[in-house]
Amino acid sequence: MTLRQAQGDRDDFPAGTVWLVGAGPGDPELLTRKAERLIRSASVVFHDALVGPGVLDLAASGARLVHVGKRSGRHSKDQATIDRLIVEAALAGERVVRLKGGDPSIFGRSMEELNACRAAGVRARICPGITAASAAAASLGTSLTLRGFARKLVFVTAHACAGEALDLDWHSLADPMATLAIYMGKAAAGEVARALLAHGLPANTPVAIVENASLPSEQTLSTRLDLLPLAMLACAGTGPALLLIGTAMNHSPLAAAKMQGSDVHAFAEQAS
């Protein structure tokens, strides 16, 4: 394979090494400059389903792009396959980018891949990315923390194995002084709302639903906790959704302006 050397190429990416690179939320402009350089320098890029075409377009013309997206229910087998593919490519002397949606260190299963590399004597490093919660807050025009009202920011994932209930500590999550960012929150939205209400979070706690944050297909919906299951019915998209729950979400003017499904909000106003 002939691969032109990318302009920004440096000595932190020799042949036979691996970079786990955060692709950010989807908008190619929200890549870091470092991620851009590494993608341009890679000879092979292993990427998730969530990494968009605008990001992959940055790869060199001779680079191989390998889709290793996982499907629900077959995680463990697929993760082992991904680990093996990355290690084999590095041992074959490739410059490997493993491109992950968001930030590799936040719900990215990076540890499995780092450990596989290290066990094989392959050098693996991490380039951070913008996580979905930061991108969603930017789109909403709000802050995730708010002095005196939201002093704690909590990230959890609501992705459970098929058929299993979520195993989360709802008592500590139902904190009116926190902002709760729930990744992969779409399927479990009803369970999330019921559990938080049962553990004492007020019914009128504001909730923002952000689907495909930062992409042209982004959808934003503003509602309240007791109406969250109803509001999810208005989310027609198929992309990953982030739920942001807490008082700070009351301060988003864009949440109101961008709102889809205004009937849900009107109903919320009436009920309050």
Catalytic residue among 184, 232, 249, 259: 184
Q: Which residues contact 200 (CB under 8 A, 6 or more apart)?
A: 174
Could you tell me which of 255, 240, 220, 219 has the C-alpha nearest to residue 102?
240
Two tokens at 71?
A: 């499907």
Q: Least distance (Å) from its own copies to the CB of residue 254? A: 9
Q: Least distance (Å) from its own copies to the CB of residue 178? A: 8
Which C-beta is closer to its own copies: that of 21 or that of 44? 21
32 near its own copies, rule: CB under 8 A: yes
65 near its own copies, rule: CB under 8 A: no
Q: Which whole-number Å values give the CA distances from 194 to 123, 158, 199, 200, 258, in the listed order? A: 45, 14, 9, 10, 26
Report whether 242 contacts 185 (CB < 8 A).
yes
Phi, psi of 200, rounded to the nearest 5 degrees:
100, 0
Phi, psi of 211, rounded to the nearest 5 degrees:
-110, 140
DSSP assignment string, 213-247:
TTSTT-EEEEEEGGGHHHHHTT----S-EEEEESG
153 near its own copies, rule: CB under 8 A: yes
Q: Least distance (Å) from its own copies to the CB of residue 95? A: 17
Which C-beta is closer to its own copies: that of 49 or that of 111? 111
Q: Out of 146, 203, 215, 234, which residue is the one contacting its own copies (CB under 8 A)?
A: 146
Instruction: Clarify whether 48 is annotated catalytic.
Output: yes
State the residues that interact with its own copies by CB under 8 A.
22, 24, 27-34, 36-37, 103-111, 114-115, 118, 124-131, 133-135, 137-138, 141-147, 151-157, 167-169, 171-172, 175, 177, 248, 251, 253
Residues with a catalytic annotation lie at 48, 70, 184
